[in-house]
Amino acid sequence: MKLIFLLNIILIFSFSQIFAQKGIWESYTTSNSGLPFDNINSITVDKQGNIWCGTNFNGNYPHLAKYDGENWNGDINSSWVNSIALAPNGNIWITTNKSSLLEWKSTFWKIYNSDLFNFLWAEPLHIDSTGIIWFAADTTILRFDGKNWSAFYPANTGMPFQKITSISSTGKNIWFATQNNGLINFDGTNWKNLNDTSFISSLNIDALTSLGDTLFIVFHDGTIEFFIDSTNYNSHFVKFSSGYTSQITSDRYGNLWIATNDGIYAFSLTSEREILHYDKTNSPLPTDQITCIAADSSGNIWFGTIGNGLFKYTPFYVSVESAKQLSSGSILSPNPCSGELSIQLNLTQNNYVIISIADIMGRDLKILSNSYLDKGSHSLFFNIANLPDGIYILRFTSDNFSLSKKMILLK
């Protein structure tokens, strides 16, 4: 996907992907599909596009189901499935109520047990970018690298692990959300508890997700803030709900989707304004209680419910065109991009132009071009795939104009 910028100092037309107020809904239940259970508490999508659903409800049925778009396959009859996660190598991992960590090895499940792991509930489960497994069990954080286990307790870390609600990672930093003790960070060496309400909005955190080096935090009151490079910039995106958030994820376009007990919320990172809210009053949803959510590579959103099965929502994105009179003029389409940047400059006079990229807080990261350009049209091509996924600012500076545009890099 290319990111194309056109600059013209007279008139611009700007295009962006925003949510349309309709889409396609599909429902999967035990009565209309091969789904073996209607109570879904965990969901993920693998690299082949298969949907994996788990349940931790009692019953004589498979507690894990895989859907390939046509057929359902059930598995794990003897245990509850607490959590499901996808590893960087494409393997699926689950935790169960039998004190087991399982890895799907294409044709069979490999079971990993440890004396450190003897808890009924093992969730949430997270796998970082290096493939290290992290999950919470009671007041313990367990780490597994494929061979060795490590256990972290309040006694050996000084951290309040009493109620971990979500785990995420940005680079080497592992983040743990707690119910009433703020945000916990582990940088590979040191543990830190961020529990100062002058630093974060609240100590009660429901969910975490990351996009590149950016960590998104959903507080229990519905406020979203973000961290970059382990630093809080107190960026208040939106207060979308006062209900409980069960999970947050991002789709292929960089939009955030949030599962709550008040339905589903979504908003665009590029505009921070286009918000959708679906519940049983304005959609086919039979319930507002959404337990889990995942996005596939085609842009579909999948989410689970308790008692009402699995739902698939295919959003309609519309291209919004607007004309504005600006001193510099610009156009950005599409956004986000996957690393290949094509910039076309149409200058009405000779000019010295600097093109640079900054992070979301405005800190310069890289100068793409620093040159004198003649009047007329110029086509410039850059590869920014070496930058981590995230939100960036593209800056254009010359003698008589300065322009900044937000963009999302998603490879």
Helical H runs in 46-199? 154-157
Q: Do 260 and 388 share a structural domain?
A: no
Q: Do 204 and 254 share a structural domain?
A: yes
What range defines the domain where residue 128 resides? 19-318
Among 208-212, 245-249, 370-374, 384-388, top mean pLDDT goes to 245-249
Q: Do 381 and 252 share a structural domain?
A: no
Q: Do 90 and 213 share a structural domain?
A: yes
Least-confidence region, from 189-198, 228-237, 315-324: 315-324
Least-confidence region, from 58-72, 243-257, 298-312, 356-370: 356-370
CA 270 to chain centre: 14
Please report where in the chains the tokens 């304005």 appear, as a residue: 282
Which strand ranges, in their side-by-side order, compose the sheet holding 231-232?
Answer: 205-211, 214-219, 224-228, 231-232
CATH of residue 336:
2.60.40.2550
Number of structural domains (the chain) is 2
What is the spatial distance between Cα 268 and Cα 18, in angstroms, rounded to a whole number? 7
Helical H runs in 142-279? 154-157
Q: Do 86 and 135 share a structural domain?
A: yes
Mean pLDDT confidence for 238-255? 82
- Residue 346, CB-side half-sphere exposure with 13 Å CA sphere: 12
What local confidence, expressed as pLDDT, does residue 370 receive?
Answer: 83
What is the spatial distance between Cα 395 and Cα 368, in angstroms, rounded to a whole number? 10
pTM given for the model: 0.76
CATH of residue 207:
2.130.10.10
Q: Taking all residues of the chain, what is their mean pLDDT, rounded to a whole number?
A: 82
Residue 383: in which H helix or E strand, if any? strand 376-383
Residues 236, 238, 241, 247, Cα dihedral to 10°: -80
Greatest Cα-to-Cα distance within the chain, rounded to the nearest angstrom: 75
Where residue 407 falls among pLDDT bands split at 50, 70, 90? confident
Tell me how many degrees the CA angle 134-136-141 measures, rounded to the nearest 5.
Answer: 70
Mean pLDDT confidence for 165-174? 94
Report whether 408 contacts 336 (CB < 8 A). yes
Residue of 334 and 374 predicted with greater confidence: 374
Inform me whether the pLDDT recorded for 118 exceeds 80: no
Where residue 147 falls among pLDDT bands split at 50, 70, 90? very high
Q: Do 337 and 291 share a structural domain?
A: no
Long-range contacts of 84-87 (CB under 8 A, 24+ apart): 84/42, 84/43, 84/44, 84/52, 84/53, 84/54, 84/125, 85/44, 85/125, 85/126, 85/127, 85/133, 86/44, 86/45, 86/46, 86/47, 86/127, 87/127, 87/131, 87/133
What is the spatial distance between Cα 369 and Cα 37, in angstroms, rounded to a whole number? 56
Inform me whether the pLDDT recorded for 270 exceeds 70: no
Q: Tell me the two tokens of residue 139.
A: 């007041």
Report whether 45 contacts 292 (CB < 8 A). no
Nearest-CA neighbor of 188 among 143, 226, 136, 148? 143
Q: Do 226 and 352 share a structural domain?
A: no
* Total length of the chain: 411
Q: Do 396 and 251 share a structural domain?
A: no
What local confidence, expressed as pLDDT, does residue 406 receive?
Answer: 74
What local confidence, expressed as pLDDT, does residue 99 receive?
Answer: 77
The number of beta carbons lying within 10 Å of the beta carbon of residue 57 is: 15
Last residue of a domain, one of 302, 318, 334: 318
Q: Do 206 and 158 share a structural domain?
A: yes
Last residue of a domain, one of 282, 302, 318: 318
What local confidence, expressed as pLDDT, does residue 401 receive?
Answer: 63
Q: Do 194 and 269 share a structural domain?
A: yes
Q: Do 263 and 120 share a structural domain?
A: yes
Last residue of a domain, one of 279, 303, 318: 318
Q: Do 148 and 29 share a structural domain?
A: yes
Nearest-CA neighbor of 392 among 137, 214, 191, 185? 214
Report whether 260 contacts 296 (CB < 8 A). no
Using a pLDDT cut of 70, give the percent of the chain over it: 83
Inform me whether the pLDDT recorded for 124 exceeds 70: yes
Instruction: For residue 281, give every residue at least 6 positions away whose Cβ sits within 8 Å of its Cβ, in sequence order, or none.
Output: none
Q: Report CA-CA distances (Å) from 79 to 21, 61, 126, 325, 382.
A: 40, 10, 20, 62, 51
Tell me the pLDDT tens digit for each residue of 341-382: 777 777 777 777 888 888 766 677 888 888 888 887 777 788
